[in-house]
């Protein structure tokens, strides 16, 4: 008990004397200014890494997936709305963004050791990379897609009958999420032979089919119609 009293008296003398008060004030002010500077630097660095210029600064991305993006409707369309790399691969909410950045840190490891530093290496790993991204978007209910596309804002009357029926039956009911149907929306699909695309054309919506048509053919045909009707 006596030790506690001595500690309290020591603390009181520290903050009650002019020199102690001045030192404590400078310490508090310095800590606040330092915290603001650290936060500003951290947020600036975070935003720099969240730009398309940064994403395409390495040839692995620029020569492969970015080159494919430039040939899709997400890059050039009649509405003039362009989706950049972070729009589709980084959540907007701060906590989700930080979590995504932590996940993406392993890409630095891949860059250092040249995991996909050549076109053949990239093509060899393409299915694995795509499956990782499909699984991530499936798990978060296509969060990045919903940054721009809202099912509530959809005008189904302006969509084709097939698109409106599919969206009503699967998307609005929660049976499927965006990535189930829109694989390959911004990048070329890997070899999908033997891979379940996650969604197959309902038989009553198939229309005229040719012999040898597979679920992948159905998916590609439907996606072309959906993309044409959305932009």
Other beta carbons less than 10 A from residue 189's beta carbon: 17
Q: Are 186 and 68 in contact (CB under 8 A)?
A: yes
Inform me whether the pLDDT recorded for 66 exceeds 90: yes
Which of 11-20, 88-97, 201-210 is the least confident region? 201-210
pLDDT higher for 46 or 223?
A: 46
Q: Are 74 and 185 in contact (CB under 8 A)?
A: yes
pLDDT in tens, 71-123: 998 999 888 888 889 888 888 888 888 888 888 888 888 888 888 999 999 99
- Report the pLDDT value the prediction gives residue 109, as an integer from 0 to 100: 85
Distance CA 84, CA 63 (A): 15
Distances (CA, A) of 139 to 143, 184, 208: 9, 18, 34
CA 25 from centre of chain:
44
pLDDT in tens, 22-58: 566 667 777 788 888 888 888 888 888 888 999 899 9
Residue 215: closest CA among 175, 168, 180, 178 = 180
pLDDT in tens, 208-219: 444 445 555 555
Please compute Rg for the chain using Cα positions: 26
DSSP 203: G
Stretch 5-26: mean pLDDT: 63
Distance CA 59, CA 226 (A): 32
pLDDT higher for 29 or 171?
A: 171
Tokens found for residue 181: 């149907």
């Amino acid at each position: 008990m006596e030790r506690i009293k001595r500690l309290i008296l020591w603390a009181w003398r520290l903050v009650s004397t002019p020199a102690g008060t001045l030192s404590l004030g400078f310490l508090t002010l310095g800590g606040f200014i330092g915290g603001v500077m650290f936060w500003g630097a951290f947020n600036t660095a975070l935003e720099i890494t969240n730009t398309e210029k940064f994403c395409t600064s390495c040839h692995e991305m620029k020569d492969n997936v970015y080159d494919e993006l430039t040939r899709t409707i997400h890059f050039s369309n009649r509405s003039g709305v362009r989706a950049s790399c972070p729009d589709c691969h980084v959540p907007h909410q701060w906590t989700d963004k930080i979590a995504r950045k932590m996940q993406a840190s392993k890409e630095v490891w891949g860059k250092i050791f040249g995991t996909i530093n050549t076109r053949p290496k990239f093509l060899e790993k393409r299915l694995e990379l795509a499956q990782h991204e499909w699984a991530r978007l499936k798990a978060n209910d296509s969060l990045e897609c919903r940054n721009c596309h809202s099912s509530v804002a959809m005008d189904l009357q302006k969509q084709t009958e097939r698109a409106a029926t599919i969206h009503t039956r699967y998307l609005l009911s929660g049976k499927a999420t965006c990535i189930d149907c829109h694989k390959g929306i911004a990048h070329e699909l890997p070899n999908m032979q033997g891979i379940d695309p996650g969604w197959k054309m309902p038989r009553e919506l198939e229309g005229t089919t040719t012999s040898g048509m597979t679920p992948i053919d159905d998916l590609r045909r439907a996606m072309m119609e959906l993309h044409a009707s959305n932009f």
